[in-house]
Structure 1
Amino acid sequence: MIIAAIAVSYYVFAILLNSVGTVILQSINSFDISKPQASTLEGFKDLSIAIVSFLIASVIPRVGYKLAMLFGLALVAVACSLAPSIANFLFIKILFACIGTAFALVKVSVYAVIGQLSSYTKAHSSLMNTIEGIFMLGVLSGYWIFAGFIDPNNDASLAWLNVYYLLATMVAFTFLIVMFAPIAPVQLANESTIASEFTSMLKLAYKPLVLVFIFSIFLYVLIEQGIGSWLPTFNNEVLGLPTQVSIQITSIFAIALAVGRLTAGAVLRKMNWYPFLNICLAGMAVVMLISLPLAETNDIQTDVASWSDAPLAAFLIPMIGLMMAPIYPVINSVMLSTLPLAQHAPMTGLIVVFSALGGTTGSIITGFVFDAIGGQNAFYLSLVPIAALMATLFFFKKASSSIYQQGAQS
């Protein structure tokens, strides 16, 4: 029941959070705004995640994981139910700020609960990848759910906002599941206070292992959100696909991420994480170097009506998700496995903060580059953080290995 509660929570937030790419495209069409303006949606989502995580991650264990999740779900249910009737870009920003705030509460709680349910590193990594895989299935569902509410004959129509009535209902159902799940409260040290727990989270960030770790997750999310948030617009403006097909075909990216994370759990039971992630990073670079030249040679088509008319690049570019999928949950699992359970919540706070900052940075940079020099060049830039991430993982491997060796000796 606990696993079901955290899995369903992650599923609905996957739909909400990763709809930002679709909402960016629809906001450009419906509210007549520029790409740099639309890119601020990522900031409202991610900065609210970062700020809330930083301020209250150390408080959540004291409040209780279940109560934190219930509050977040209730907030989002109300915001979603109001979106169709208010129907302006300002409220869309507020909506994503509410989604980000709620997800900060849910993610810190879910990661901490995974620690309670896993007694050793491989079990932790496997459950983490499974939950993250379910998250990606939610992302996949989201593209089709949103596409189903888009008027194919009128890109400027506001009918797509009615999707939020359905999402409010799904969130309310999730609220009920979490309410009945027997999620245990964390056992706090008798002498601990909110101030001491907040200070312990800050002290974590000064450790060399944690510093290289947070830089790694920052780079990873920068890549993922830079591509994921702008892929529908890339499909629409660079490859010439209709709006509805642009959003639907982006679901290949979510499928690739889901398959990659669900299969990684099995692979990692037999293979060491470090060489596996290096293979993934090399594969990401290869996918971009093969697929983007095909996009450059594609002439804008005006007669694309379905997937069968789409150019090859539309199917190849999203396959980068298969390679990048395992990276984020694996490095999170390696990091959390080096810490005692009492430090999982503050560490998750740092994970959420720097993930959010990376996502905002990636989306905004991609949006400005896309607007200035085109979508192909914006996506080519992803090769730079891919190379940087390969370098930071080398140092992360060295630092984490020394921690494990010290633990074994003690």
Structure 2
Amino acid sequence: MKTRRILFILFLIYFVFAILLNSVGTVILQIINNYGVSKGAASVLEGFKDLPIAIVSFLVASFLPRLGYKKAMLAGLAIVTLACLAMPLVPGFATAKLLFGAVGVSFALVKVSVYSTLGLVATSPRHHAGIMNTLEGFFMIGVLCAYWVFGWFIDSANPRSTSWLNVYWLLAALCAVTFVLLALTAFDESLAALPAERTPAQDFAAMLKLFFKPLVCIFVITAFLYVLIEQSVGTWLPTFNNEILKLPAAMSVQVTSIFAACLALGRLSAGVVLRRLHWYPVMNVCLLGMGAVVLLALPLTHDIALDPNVTWASAPAAAYLFPLIGLFMAPIYPGINSVMLSSLPQHQHSAMTGLLVIFSALGGTTGSMITGYVFGAFSGHFAFYLTLVPIAVVLVMLYFFRRAVEGGHRDSGSGTAGASAIIGG
């Protein structure tokens, strides 16, 4: 396979889905403004995105190698192209639910396929860690672009304007171009082939058995909590900027791009750092840094007066300080994913990624809905202070994750053989 061409296609696919997936916070803000939907009701958009990801991953991840990763990615791109076209043609809250449902179904197919394909092109665990962080960093570049692209189409002077829906013509075209490039790219998926004597039912049962292994339980719970934190912040930061920091709607979305930029920078940098340092102390420093940012930034968000002439130069300091949490948050998710996946044989990557996607999706929905409820019932300050709880729990879970990984390697050898032994082959 032509590795560089394939990696370019994978990064481009992830870029497209980064824009679609992480537009949910911006769409929530616009749905509230355009259609008078309550915060609690608007927060279900996260569920329409994440629950299909979890359900579809659960149903198809175990036998995607039989379907073919390329075919699965093409199907996902075709679905989201049609869904993007529906947004400006049939505007409404129901269409937004349909869009994120389609994005969820598609991303389940795409993420399992992309992660599994990385295992086919990576030449070593360190190479895998590098391209995993680069992939996730490229994803965050897409998120960063999303805030500015959507912000460009938002009319801050008229909160009820639906001009922002025109962004979906651009997104539909981007999806279509990516579909064509993928269709013209050759893939060799032979290394991911499942044992011929196994049936799809046996493939599914093998995936379920993975979850009951202690190492896998610790891994997916850690991933669940991380995504809960990231989506709590990412989804509700535009609304926090608008209502608590008193920034205009378009600027609220654009300022959130600092969070995405920090995530992108952190993940791209982690690809270099994790090749030189052990992942465990790096993760601990990152979690402590996240807690420090919360405790330093949120006290600065109280009693901010409305300024109709606010600019980037006069915006509250917290608008720039709090998004720095993304810099510390960034390496955790791709780091633990790479530790887990790079030590498994390629034919297990799809099933393991399926479990990862399921619990990541559930974590995203849980985080967004809890934060939305607390934001509406109490305050945005209290909602973001609550992130300290899962941060502390992830700190504890990483200790047990390290013990499980390194204990398995001591007992069974390092690399693929060791991990396979702990997980059950």
TM-score range, shorter chain: over 0.9
Partner of 2:85: 81
Structure 1 segment 195-344 matched on structure 2, within 5 A:
195-296=201-302, 298-344=303-349
Question: Which stretch of structure 1 is more off in the superposition, 41-50 or 184-193?
Answer: 184-193
1:194 paired residue among 176, 200, 203? 200
CA–CA distance in 1 between the matches of 2:77 and 2:253?
A: 26
Partner of 1:50: 54
1:128 paired residue among 129, 132, 139? 132
CA–CA distance in 1 between the matches of 2:405 and 2:7?
A: 28
2:391 paired residue among 386, 395, 401? 386
> In structure 2, what residue type is equivalent to 1:263?
S
Offset of residue 30 of structure 1: 0.7
Offset of residue 303 of structure 1: 2.1
3-state SS in 1 of match to 2:410: helix
Offset of residue 236 of structure 1: 0.1
CA–CA distance in 1 between the matches of 2:219 and 2:362?
A: 14
Residues 245 and 305 in structure 1, CA contact (< 8 A), matched pair in contact too: no
CA–CA distance in 2 between the matches of 1:401 and 1:326?
A: 20
Offset of residue 119 of structure 1: 2.5
Q: Deviations over 1:93-139 (max 9, x none)?
A: 01000001001100000000000111321111111000000000000
Partner of 2:352: 347
Residues 338 and 403 in structure 1, CA contact (< 8 A), matched pair in contact too: no
What's the TM-score, normalizing by structure 2?
Answer: 0.95
CA–CA distance in 2 between the matches of 1:368 and 1:134?
A: 31
Offset of residue 156 of structure 1: 1.0
CA–CA distance in 2 between the matches of 1:264 and 1:215?
A: 22
CA–CA distance in 1 between the matches of 2:328 and 2:335?
A: 13
The answer for unaligned runs of 5 or more in structure 2 is 418-425
3-state SS in 2 of match to 1:4: helix
Offset of residue 82 of structure 1: 1.3
CA–CA distance in 2 between the matches of 1:309 and 1:41?
A: 33
Offset of residue 338 of structure 1: 2.7
Partner of 1:90: 94
> In structure 1, what residue type is equivalent to 2:116?
A
Structure 1 vs Structure 2 CA RMSD = 1.0
Structure 1 segment 109-188 matched on structure 2, within 5 A:
109-185=113-189, 186-188=192-194
CA–CA distance in 1 between the matches of 2:330 and 2:185?
A: 29
> In structure 2, what residue type is equivalent to 1:388?
V
> In structure 1, what residue type is equivalent to 2:208?
L
1:71 equivalent to 2:44? Answer no
CA–CA distance in 1 between the matches of 2:86 and 2:392?
A: 43
Q: Deviations over 1:147-205 (max 9, x none)?
A: 11111210111111111010000000110111112222232212122111111110000
CA–CA distance in 1 between the matches of 2:254 and 2:286?
A: 25
Q: Deviations over 1:329-377 (max 9, x none)?
A: 0001111123211110000000000000000000000000000111000
Partner of 2:422: none
Q: Percent identity?
A: 55
> In structure 1, what residue type is equivalent to 2:411?
Q
3-state SS in 2 of match to 1:353: helix
CA–CA distance in 1 between the matches of 2:135 and 2:21?
A: 16
CA–CA distance in 2 between the matches of 1:101 and 1:179?
A: 20
CA–CA distance in 2 between the matches of 1:398 and 1:77?
A: 44
Offset of residue 326 of structure 1: 0.4
Residues 241 and 304 in structure 1, CA contact (< 8 A), matched pair in contact too: no
The answer for unaligned runs of 5 or more in structure 1 is none
Offset of residue 59 of structure 1: 2.0
> In structure 2, what residue type is equivalent to 1:111?
Y
Residues 72 and 105 in structure 1, CA contact (< 8 A), matched pair in contact too: yes
Partner of 2:373: 368
Offset of residue 405 of structure 1: 2.0
1:399 paired residue among 404, 407, 415? 404
Offset of residue 241 of structure 1: 0.2
What's the TM-score, normalizing by structure 1?
Answer: 0.98
> In structure 2, what residue type is equivalent to 1:90?
A
3-state SS in 1 of match to 2:37: coil
CA–CA distance in 1 between the matches of 2:29 and 2:81?
A: 23
